[in-house]
Chain A
Amino acid sequence: MKKFIAATLVLALVFALAACDTPATGGDAGDAGSKLTVWCWDPAFNLFAMEEAAKVYKQINPGFELDIVEIGWDDLQTNLITIAMSGQLQALPDIFLVQNNAFQKNVMNYPELFADLTDFSVPYHQFGPSVVAYSTIGGRNFGVPFDNGAAVAAYRLDILEEAGYTLEDFTDITWDTYIEQAKDILAKTGKPLLSGGAGDMDLICILLQSMGASFFDADGNPDIVGNEYISLAFDVYVQLVSNGLMVEVNSWDEYIGTFNNGIVAGVINGCWILGSVQQADDQFGLWGITNLPKFSNVSGATHYSANGGSSWAVASSSSNVDLAVDFLTQTFGGSIEFYENILFAAGALANWLPAGESDVYNEPQPFFRDVPIYALITEFAGLIPSNYTGVYYYEARDAIGNAIVLVLAGADKDEALKDAEDTLRFWMMQ
């Protein structure tokens, strides 16, 4: 027994000592001359893009080094809050990725974390205006746009053809035509055109942004009651669901399953969804993409919108802000070679418009019947109206999500929207 106790204590001591030995390198690598630390998520996408960007930048700055830490967005957000609240800014990396919809919220809540990039030479005019708007607060720029969230409408061409339609019949159309044709396709083939999570706000938000509309007015106050745009988006949503044109599911996995399994004949979402669409290799050559239906008789309505996307932020605490901005500018905002490298390997699409002119972007894609979808999506990206997201974007999404569930269950639309606005104001403590 004595030996056991001794061994236990020795082991504990060894572990403790081993723990003490670990160098406390910290999140920032600012002290090293040309080394940057980056936080981002998704190895196949953002991490890969960062590694490629580092390779490209090394040609200009041979001594450049990049340390990329993998961390999911939810956890990254937790860390940002923890660091900001505790005031330990030295724990920040030099560069971190922020979801576009959460960018304004974070800059407004924790302005001390973000370096102001306005006076650096980032070529903002070469990005679509809507993606720059996400990371612009009070006329100042705090981010370099990266991940393209341009919305696409993708259709199973074989099912459309079975019902006597082509992709042209779904290009440059209005929502009225869409619903008309979707009913016909459902009757002839038994397949709905759309799917989405029950109470999930992706589609509503896509519809709203296609009109440049938001849940807030320009001053950031809730603008839900009497908002004609929200009312129109609700009407389309309710028509889609109540006519069986859109299948509502309970989880993201089920959602992916609806098109992977051929339950539905189309998808409307951010272009990143095409990665999941292409997982079903038995549907090779059966898909086509085009722009979204638009609202008729609405000023500012377009065929273009976005869902998601993300932008790079530079930490104000970084001792290498100049290097970090130069690195982002020369690669994400200046290298066609870089965007060509990440296109096929990661399916990462540029928000930087000059990349759309590259030959690689214009190559036909066999999965989508030889259409050069990447050039097409980059073109869409330049035409998206911008909208205000603000601090309470996600709260507004939740409130509206509850309202749509109530309306689908038969509640009065205006009352549900009134409740949603009251809830949102309560959350905002107004």
Chain B
Amino acid sequence: MSHAAKRRIGTAFRYTFLSAVSLLSIFPLYWMAVASTNRTVDILRGTLIPGTEFLNNLRFLLEGQNITGAMRNSFVNAASTTLAALVICSLAGYGFEVYHTKNNDRMKIVLLTAMMIPFATTMIPLFRMFAQMGLLNATLAVILPSISTPFLIMLFRQSTRSFPHDIIEAARLDGLNEISIFFRMFIPTMRPTYAAAMTITFMGAWNNFLWPRVIIMNNEMMTMPMLVANLTAGYVTNYGVLMLAVLLSTIPTVIVFFLLQKSFAEGITGAVKG
């Protein structure tokens, strides 16, 4: 067999393998989309062909559930959490690295330890705190616990390491004050890190379920994950409607991910745009 033929076979094999794996990972998404156009009975009978029930399922969602409200609430929660988290955590991470002291290192250990505490253990004291502050059923109560996370602070701290300190020195010499250096030199340079942090935070906030479910006790402020959970809590589950709600709930995170995909990879690997 010639060399070229061997290579062709190799390529063919590689493509077949990759196609099979892609199909495998896309299948659940396909199934979800197909299920959103079918009736429960057909879904349980294992249909894999798009059906004709999409509009009925959509009507059921619009009429039976506060889906527009839930989308809006989820968006407001996720967007404000993301904005606040980016500002606060990047400032903290930047400060840790640039104004380095011994106490900072001790603080870092405390932060790393905090990363290991599962949320379930802090939920009850947190609930008590917010209830006493009169913040039950308040958007602020949903946002506040997740705007400063050890993970994000560490992410920003790590990436600040790759930020050339010469730039800071040069800026100081040019007469910029410390806050301006952060906003005018650091943020524009660290865009990929911000993109990565934004993707992670937005997805986390959008999908956040346990805390909002505990602190929000009315239908008007329900978020998408809460709505999806309610759809599965009935005695008879309408799988078509459920899958449509899951599909709708996935779209915003997919959009955010694809928009920031390139920067996300760069940000995670810690690249600096010069």
**Interface range, B side:** 35 or more
Report yes or no: B124 in contact with A82, Cβ–Cβ below 8 A: yes
Report yes or no: A275 in contact with B140, Cβ–Cβ below 8 A: no
Report yes or no: B229 in contact with A87, Cβ–Cβ below 8 A: no
* Residues of chain A within 8 A of B131, CB atoms compared: 86, 88, 90-91
Distance of B237 from chain A, by nearest CB (Å): 8
* Residues of chain B within 8 A of A19, CB atoms compared: 80, 138-140, 143
* Residues of chain B within 8 A of A75, CB atoms compared: 213, 226, 229, 233
B116 at the interface (CB under 8 A from A): no
Please measure, in the bound complex, the distance between the C-alpha atom of A20 and the C-alpha atom of B80, giving whole angstroms. 13
Please measure, in the bound complex, the distance between the C-alpha atom of A234 and the C-alpha atom of B224, giving whole angstroms. 43
B41 at the interface (CB under 8 A from A): yes
A367 at the interface (CB under 8 A from B): no
Report yes or no: B236 in contact with A44, Cβ–Cβ below 8 A: yes
Distance of A49 from chain B, by nearest CB (Å): 12
Distance of A100 from chain B, by nearest CB (Å): 14
Distance of A81 from chain B, by nearest CB (Å): 8
A25 at the interface (CB under 8 A from B): yes
A31 at the interface (CB under 8 A from B): no
Report yes or no: B214 in contact with A82, Cβ–Cβ below 8 A: yes
Please measure, in the bound complex, the distance between the C-alpha atom of A30 and the C-alpha atom of B233, giving whole angstroms. 27
A429 at the interface (CB under 8 A from B): no
Stretch at the interface among B6-14, B96-104, B182-190: B182-190
Given contacts A86-B124, A93-B217, A279 and B41 within 8 Å (CB-CB):
yes
Most chain B beta-carbon neighbours within 10 Å: one of A8, A15, A253? A15
Please measure, in the bound complex, the distance between the C-alpha atom of A276 and the C-alpha atom of B41, giving whole angstroms. 9
Q: What number of A residues sit within 8 Å (CB to CB) of B?
A: 56
Q: Which of B64, B139, B218 contacts A18 (CB 8 A)?
A: B139
Report yes or no: A79 in contact with B136, Cβ–Cβ below 8 A: no
Q: Which of B46, B87, B127, B213 contacts A86 (CB 8 A)?
A: B127
Q: Which of B87, B234, B239 contacts A253 (CB 8 A)?
A: B239
A239 at the interface (CB under 8 A from B): no
* Residues of chain A within 8 A of B234, CB atoms compared: 41-45
* Residues of chain A within 8 A of B137, CB atoms compared: 22-27
* Residues of chain A within 8 A of B222, CB atoms compared: 70
Please measure, in the bound complex, the distance between the C-alpha atom of A83 and the C-alpha atom of B130, giving whole angstroms. 12
B123 at the interface (CB under 8 A from A): yes
Report yes or no: B45 in contact with A257, Cβ–Cβ below 8 A: yes
Report yes or no: B230 in contact with A72, Cβ–Cβ below 8 A: yes
B134 at the interface (CB under 8 A from A): yes
Please measure, in the bound complex, the distance between the C-alpha atom of A56 and the C-alpha atom of B151, giving whole angstroms. 54
Distance of B198 from chain A, by nearest CB (Å): 11
Please measure, in the bound complex, the distance between the C-alpha atom of A15 and the C-alpha atom of B230, giving whole angstroms. 27
Flag B111-153 by CB within 8 Å of A: 1 or 0 each.
0000000000001110110011011111110010000000000
Distance of B178 from chain A, by nearest CB (Å): 15
Distance of A321 from chain B, by nearest CB (Å): 19
Report yes or no: B136 in contact with A42, Cβ–Cβ below 8 A: no
- Known contacts A27-B136, A78-B210, A82-B123; 16 additional CB pairs below 8 A are A5-B187, A16-B143, A19-B140, A24-B137, A25-B137, A26-B217, A45-B235, A69-B219, A71-B233, A78-B213, A85-B124, A86-B125, A93-B217, A253-B44, A257-B46, A280-B41
7 A-B pairs with C-beta separation under 8 A: A5-B187, A8-B87, A24-B135, A24-B137, A41-B230, A82-B123, A257-B45
Seen from chain A, the residues whose Cβ lies within 8 Å of a Cβ on chain B are 1-2, 5, 8-9, 11-12, 15-16, 18-20, 22-27, 39, 41-45, 67-75, 78-79, 82-83, 85-88, 90-91, 93, 253-254, 256-257, 260-261, 272, 275-276, 279-281
Seen from chain B, the residues whose Cβ lies within 8 Å of a Cβ on chain A are 40-41, 44-46, 64-65, 76, 79-80, 83-84, 87, 123-125, 127-128, 131-132, 134-140, 143, 183-184, 187-188, 210, 213-214, 217-219, 221-222, 226, 229-230, 232-236, 239
> 3 closest pairs, A vs B, by CB?
A72-B233, A15-B80, A19-B140
